[in-house]
Chain A
């Protein structure tokens, strides 16, 4: 396996982006975007999570297997969410 040492500068950059995003998400929450508020909040959260996973958790420099594990866990979370919501969103279609 690669023993990749990430330069500290990368960490500081990621840290700065994360802090900016936190400020941004708080600011956006106070602006009325209707249904887009939740979309914006979750997009920012997903972006933050992604860069934490890629850089702080070194997935960017990791084996394909690690990628598979990360993608797999999200996929299964997706199954749980999608099929459960599939029930809730279609209830009452037939009365």
Chain B
């Protein structure tokens, strides 16, 4: 007997499953009702003489109203239920463990904040909300972990994210769910959920060259970003300390929130959104740095918020 039901290993899974059971109940009720009526009528009112005709019934307004309104009400219930589950899926808690994901044909690359890098394997602790910040180097991919009931497309040129909180240690499938070319079905991996202590052990046991932010900082210096983006206000570029999450005033009066996407855009298309009071003099870095390096820079800029004494 094959499994009829997938493993349930995240806080979201029971919510999706509950909706699933309700939907099955609705579907079974109506399927059985319709199929039952059809079979019953077909037998009960089968044609007995070749000239037989049906009874002349044109319709009934009450019935029409009933089977318009009742399905509409049921649909409304399902909509609200589905929407509330989706809202929960779309809004990560404030405190999350962030992990960066880069998809490329045909592999998954994961970068932990402390600098651990993994390919097609993702280690996460149980009981902690994890947010994946994802982008692609080439075509559209999609991270799908059936046991967690989460899924989101991974797009080139943009960050998307999903979050989950694993509830059960174990190894779970990770599939690419958006068709991405020849070896699409080989673009699979595993999410390994560990007890917190084991996870800590795994973290410290992995070979690390330095945290993501520190790699980003080094890159920041190598690319000479530091010459303009200085910690004091004397630089030719905006100050980055304390920038992340703030609202930036742009030329032309518009504003933008400095999130990951904004930082990414500002590195690749510096002219797209110019901070008020600065000149569009920054060169583009498009084609010069990889998606992974971009993530390191983003993480470095984010880390500038928490450092006590910014820049050396």
Contact = CB atoms under 8 A, between A and B. Distances in A.
Query: Is A bound to B?
Result: yes
Interface of A: 92, 94-95
A94 B90 CA distance: 8
Interface of B: 90-91, 257, 259, 261
Contacts of A94: 90-91
Q: What secondary structure prevails in chain A residues at the interface with B?
A: loop
A95 B245 CA distance: 10
A5 B259 CA distance: 63
A20 B196 CA distance: 75
A94 to B, nearest CB: 6
A92 B259 CA distance: 10
Contacts of B257: 92, 95
A18 to B, nearest CB: 34
7 contacts: A92-B257, A92-B259, A92-B261, A94-B90, A94-B91, A95-B257, A95-B259
Contacts of A95: 257, 259
Contacts of B261: 92
Nearest to B261: A92
Nearest to A95: B259
B127 to A, nearest CB: 24
A92 B159 CA distance: 11
Of all A-B residue pairs in the complex, the 7 with the closest CB atoms, nearest first, are A94-B90, A95-B259, A94-B91, A95-B257, A92-B261, A92-B257, A92-B259
A4 to B, nearest CB: 42
A10 B259 CA distance: 58
A69 to B, nearest CB: 29
B68 to A, nearest CB: 23
Nearest to B245: A95
B98 to A, nearest CB: 13
A94 B86 CA distance: 12
Nearest to B260: A95
Nearest to B253: A34
A94 B89 CA distance: 11
Nearest to B92: A95
A37 to B, nearest CB: 14
Nearest to B90: A94
Nearest to B87: A94
Contacts of A92: 257, 259, 261
A83 to B, nearest CB: 17
A48 B257 CA distance: 40
A94 B162 CA distance: 12
A74 B281 CA distance: 44
